[in-house]
Amino acid sequence: MPLKSATTLAARLINRLPQSSQAALFMVIACAVFAAMSGLIRHISANVPPLEIVFFRNLFGLLALAPWFLRNGMAGLKTTRLGLYGLRALVGMVSMALWFTAVTIVPLAEATALSFTAPLFGTVLAVLLLGEVVRVRRWSATLAGFAGAMIILRPTVETIEPGTIMVLISAATMATAGIFVKKLMATDTPAQSVAWMGIMMVPMSLVPALFVWQWPSLQSLLWLGLLGGVATIGHLAI
């Protein structure tokens, strides 16, 4: 079956699902993609500084949207919400820089487990910023998730490592960025959101990258290109 036909068939099957099931499916895809992305970051960081990886992830992620730009042109970027996009990019930049750095110093399994605190922050923020109604079942799941995070940390406060704190702050800012995306989706498309994120975050992430800059090898560039493409798929799914 040709790729285009297979894609069309998959889209039709997904569209037949209830919206809640569609959302769950895309979130599972995003989680799988981001798990692969974390492994790539860990691998690339052996030769490229984390802040530089952030820059190339955004650069190659933006280039991965070239087909969308060719099809829609600059008209596809038309929006009245540049301020919110800028705020989303800034928060996303903080989250990305902390996560990419943390992945290089915290065991990957622990970092990934702690990153799943993002939905806990997201639940609270959805109530405060979006006015969503969260019932007992979701609050129970949130509290259970928080208890799980505490088990992972095994803390007394004195033993919490800087990398662990980075992961938690990254999860909180990731959840905040997700709230902004939710607001943006009321008027704009997912591709628009990801495109504007790349446009704003490429120059934004270049500044800190220059302070640690090392020219990557051709092999590292190939890995960075893969990282950018994979990350774009994940954000489109989100």
Encoding tokens for residue 128?
A: 């405060």
CA distances from 135 to 132, 139, 148 (A): 10, 6, 20
CA distances from 92 to 54, 96, 107, 197 (A): 11, 6, 22, 8
Place of tokens 């949130």: 142
The per-residue pLDDT for range 185-235, each reduced to its tens digit, is 888 888 888 889 889 999 999 999 999 999 999 999 999 999 999 998 888
Query: Quick check: 156 pLDDT over 50?
Result: no
Burial (Cβ within 10 Å: 0-12, 13-18, ≥19) of residue 75: exposed
Give the mean model confidence (pLDDT) for residues 111-140.
71
Picking from 7, 48, 26, 92, the residue whose alpha carbon sits closest to that of residue 227 is 48
Place of tokens 């042109």: 73
Residue 45 near residue 99 (C-beta atoms within 8 A)? no
The per-residue pLDDT for range 60-82, each reduced to its tens digit, is 999 998 888 888 888 888 888 89
Burial (Cβ within 10 Å: 0-12, 13-18, ≥19) of residue 82: exposed
Query: Quick check: 157 pLDDT over 60?
Result: no
- pTM comes to 0.81
> What's the mean pLDDT when you consider all of the chain?
83
Residue 201 near residue 92 (C-beta atoms within 8 A)? yes
pLDDT at 153: 61
Percent of the chain with pLDDT over 90: 31
Picking from 53, 52, 26, the residue whose alpha carbon sits closest to that of residue 40 is 53
pLDDT at 59: 95
The per-residue pLDDT for range 171-187, each reduced to its tens digit, is 888 888 888 888 888 88
Q: What is the distance between the alpha carbons of residues 8 and 13, in angstroms, rounded to a whole number?
A: 9
